[in-house]
Amino acid sequence: MYPEVQPRILDLIGEVYDAALDETLWPSLAPKIANTFGSASAQIQVRHLEAGRVERLALTDNYKGHDLQAYESYYAARDVWVARAAALGMSGVVASKDLISDAEFEQSEIYQDWARSLGIFYVVGAVFRISDDQLGVLGIHRPRAGGGYDDEAKARASQFLPHLKRAIEIRHRLAGPATARAVALEALERSGTATLVASGDGRLLFANRRAEELLRTGDAVLAAGGRLTARDHEAAARLSALIRTSAATAGGSGSGSGGVLSIERGERLPLTVLVAPFRPAREGFGAPLPAAIVFLRDPESQSPRSLALQGLFGLTAAEATLAAGLATGLAQGKGVEGLATQLGISLNTAKTHLKNIFAKTGSSRQAQLVALVLGSVAVMEI
């Protein structure tokens, strides 16, 4: 081992573990790997065996402008480096000299049609198993003029390989939870419900877009010093108590199940609030963080999407606009006559639209129609 290289390898090991927890960091690793090993090119692949797919986690710039799909669909199966490294049992780092002679590689299809255009001739790297269906591939390359890799280069790569393998395994294990987390966040954004997560002392940990809008308005709830509270003092005390007891339950030191409250807003309809225990997992590893999840519903902001109502019930654009207006307007004390004025149509036209809406939705009363509309996916963000 060359002493002067060791710190650079240690830095690289740290960065590969960072990438295991942050998907956006993988691409930047390729040039760092190449530079660390005195090379011009590097790549990290994950091969999904059942799907026959090659996932490229990191590539140096020499791959830019090349038909990577052609490699996946054709040359991947003819990559003698990968095939022969795998045949050796995936036991560790190998170099070109362990796999194929210079003369044979020079005549190979993978070199003639692929590697030559990338400016690569020699390799040091490894093929390793990630799961039953996945193989990892590390390739570090030089052009022919750069000379082949010796045993010292293999030894240095062997110091890095176990950490790369472990980092990709971590990435694989986190893939399911990461997808589930992304789905959950997307659902919260589209639900039409303002949703927040707060620690036991009220410190805000998360807020979706609807919640951020309510906090900016600040007529009922607000963030004071980074902590969730209510403008009304009595409601603020009640909200704080519910958050505190819910977080305690989430942490295993309480038994409260949360609760509900209504926050008055002067002449506007009150904001309704539900608080419950919540244990969101920390990013990466570590114990869950005890917290409270807070759902807020503003009866004046449930605005069904007209386009969605057209698709759901076969309404015309004018009918959908009226139906959406009724669902929102009734909560604000607006009836058909007020909506007709607002929309710039006659009362008779509005009544004709309403008759058609009743027929198409299978409803017979305005209250029934409003319940149907507000209970549909038309209130979700699109």
pLDDT of the residue at 8: 83
Instruction: Please tell me whether residues 138 and 241 are part of one structural domain.
Output: no
pLDDT of the residue at 250: 84
HEC secondary structure over 297-343 = ECCCCCCCCHHHHHHHHCCCHHHHHHHHHHHHHHHHCCCHHHHHHHH
pLDDT of the residue at 179: 63
User: Which one-letter DSSP state was computed for residue 280?
Assistant: P
The H or E element containing residue 270 is: strand 268-278
Residue 23 has pLDDT above 60, yes or no: yes
Could you tell me the end-to-end alpha-carbon distance of the chain, in angstroms, rounded to an integer? 57
pLDDT of the residue at 228: 96
3-state secondary structure at position 255:
coil
Ordered DSSP codes for 60-78: -GGGTTS-HHHHHHTGGGG
Query: Considering just the CA atoms, what is the radius of gyration of the chain in Å?
Result: 30
Half-sphere exposure (Cβ direction) of 63: Cα atoms closer than 13 Å: 20
Task: Please give the residue range of the domain that contains residue 348.
Answer: 306-379
What pLDDT, in 10s, does the model give residues 193-222? 889 999 999 999 888 888 999 999 888 999
How many other CB atoms sit within 10 Å of the CB of residue 265? 17
CATH number for the domain harbouring residue 14: 3.30.450.80
Q: How confident is the model at residue 282 (pLDDT cuts 50, 70, 90)?
A: very low
Residue 286 has pLDDT above 50, yes or no: no
Does any domain span residue 280?
A: yes
Does any domain span residue 186?
A: no
Residue 164: name the closest of 41, 30, 54 by CA: 30
CB-based burial label for 27 (10 Å; 0-12, 13-18, 19+): middle
What pLDDT, in 10s, does the model give residues 4-18? 446 788 889 888 988
Q: Which of 245, 264, 297 is the last residue of a domain?
A: 297
Residue 55: name the closest of 173, 161, 171, 224 by CA: 171
What pLDDT, in 10s, does the model give residues 305-316? 788 888 888 999
What pLDDT, in 10s, does the model give residues 316-374? 988 988 888 887 776 556 678 888 888 888 999 989 999 999 999 999 888 888 888 87
What pLDDT, in 10s, does the model give residues 140-163? 999 999 999 999 999 999 999 999
Q: Which conformational region is residue 225 in: left (phi greater than 0), alpha (psi within -120 to 50 degrees), or beta?
A: left
Cα distances (Å, whole numbers) of residue 80 to 21, 43, 55, 127, 273: 32, 16, 18, 12, 63
Average pLDDT on 116-143 reads 94
Token pair listed for 128: 């390793």
Does any domain span residue 265?
A: yes
Instruction: Please tell me whether residues 313 and 168 are part of one structural domain.
Output: no
Strands (E), 26-133: 41-48, 53-59, 94-95, 122-131
**pTM (2 d.p.):** 0.52
Instruction: Please tell me whether residues 143 and 32 are part of one structural domain.
Output: yes
pLDDT of the residue at 234: 95
Instruction: Please tell me whether residues 199 and 278 are part of one structural domain.
Output: yes
pLDDT of the residue at 132: 87
Instruction: Please tell me whether residues 206 and 276 are part of one structural domain.
Output: yes
The number of folded domains in the chain is 3
pLDDT of the residue at 1: 38
Residue 287 has pLDDT above 80, yes or no: no
